[in-house]
Amino acid sequence: MDLKHIVATWLKENEYDGLYSSDDNCACCIGDDFMPCDEPHIDCSPGYRVDCPAGHEFHFMITDDKGSEECE
């Protein structure tokens, strides 16, 4: 078992969708593209996925607000 698997398992068990870093403007969802940086960053936090509307800079964002429906 590697670190990516351990972190993904913990996130799923605690009902999170992925990780985000507000300092780096970076986010990843659990799945095929989880931790594309291939290493944990000290400033990553667990969060919830919010899909962004067409034409937005990003396809999705990860936020700490579970009830958020807005892509900032």
- pTM, two decimal places: 0.85
Q: Which of 21-25, 28-32, 66-70 has the highest mean pLDDT?
A: 28-32
pLDDT in tens, 36-50: 887 767 889 999 999
Whether 34 is in a domain gets the answer: yes
Range of 11's domain? 3-63
The total of structural domains in the chain comes to 1
Output the CA–CA distances (angstroms, integers) from residue 62 to 1, 2, 24, 55, 71, in the order listed. 25, 23, 13, 18, 9
Whether 69 is in a domain gets the answer: no
